[in-house]
Amino acid sequence: MIRESMFRPAWWLRHRHLQTIFPNFPLRRFPPLELVRETVELPDGDFLHVDWHPKQPDGAPLVLLLHGLEGSVQSPYARTMLERLSDQGWRCALMHFRSCSGVPNRMTRSYHAGETGDLQTIIDRLRERDADAPLVAIGYSLGGNVLLKWLGERGPEAPLTAAAAISVPFDLQDACHAMNIGFSRVYRNVLLGRLKSALDRKFPTGRAPGVPVRQALNSSSFIEFDDILTAPLHGFASVYDYYRRCSSRQFLKDIAVPTLIVNARDDPFMTPSSVPSGNELSQFVELELSEHGGHVGFISGKLPWKPDYWLLERIPEFLSQHLEAGETGRSGVGEKSGVGE
């Protein structure tokens, strides 16, 4: 089901770029986080880090966060959501994609927008430790794409009570083109710069067997970077094969877990044409669209010095609804959602 979001932007922050930039404003105060880092060994001999917010006792609901491109537990959206959910009595953890925790991974390969095997490993680990605790997941941007793709791949076998995805690039090729237009090129350059910095840290000599490091460092767009590095490094025939196979839009119809997707039509990381239609969604998916909100923004409030971060209310509200309802919540979403606009 597709519905209009209840979100209303702050009058002083209606423009999509302001919505996108403001949450990362240097003067914003972030809550201190007490974190415990866990190193998880992966089946292929690599590793990744999971950071836990350890306030809550065993048996409490588990929530797993997936960050966006080159994000981490220090990303503002992750820090604030971890604190908010922990305050609600949930056990919270953030899964870092390979190399995003500040420590380069061992293998030549890294992560990408369609890598669901690592997520499966973490989910399996959480289920083995506590099979009875409710488990939910939240994905932001690229992490949202990974989460939705995994949910579609797993279908009714996905062991989650509910899920939420924010500012998802449903069509990866469309997102790359959108970020080559106008002011969005600023975001492209910042994120591409972070990818290059990570690559440079991992291969400081600028050389690695079978890896065109120098070419990738000289790339000027995501399509060029992914064509040179991401696609061949992860077994795709071409950059467009990578985008086609890993875009989450095609997996939405197979999701069988109550899932909320929150996107804005003015998101500068994509174009309106990438937003799926109602008949592309399973009966378990609720897509909330707003005219404004930017990319992982969604800031409301009457006063500039006292903003309201709407996602910190909407996402916990949705997840709480299904944690409290349990299996009744799962069947209820299917009954009320239907298909269509």
Active site residue 141: yes
Q: DSSP character for 116?
A: -
Beta carbons within 8 Å of 62's beta carbon, 6+ residues apart: 90, 91, 92, 93, 126, 130, 133, 134, 135, 136
Q: DSSP letters along 196-229, please?
A: HHHHHHHSTTS-BTTB-HHHHHT--SHHHHIIII
Beta carbons within 8 Å of 174's beta carbon, 6+ residues apart: 270, 271, 273, 274
Q: DSSP character for 155?
A: G
| Number of alpha helices (DSSP H) and beta strands (DSSP E) in the chain | 12, 11
Among the listed residues 110, 267, 292, 300, the single catalytic one is 267
Among the listed residues 96, 292, 295, 322, the single catalytic one is 295
Note whether 282 and 340 are within 8 A (CB): no
Q: Give the sign of the dihedral formed by CA 283, CA 288, CA 294, CA 297.
A: negative
Active site residue 130: no
Active site residue 49: no
Nearest-angstrom CA–CA distance, 113 and 98? 12
Among the listed residues 75, 99, 110, 141, the single catalytic one is 141
Enzyme catalytic residues: 141, 267, 295
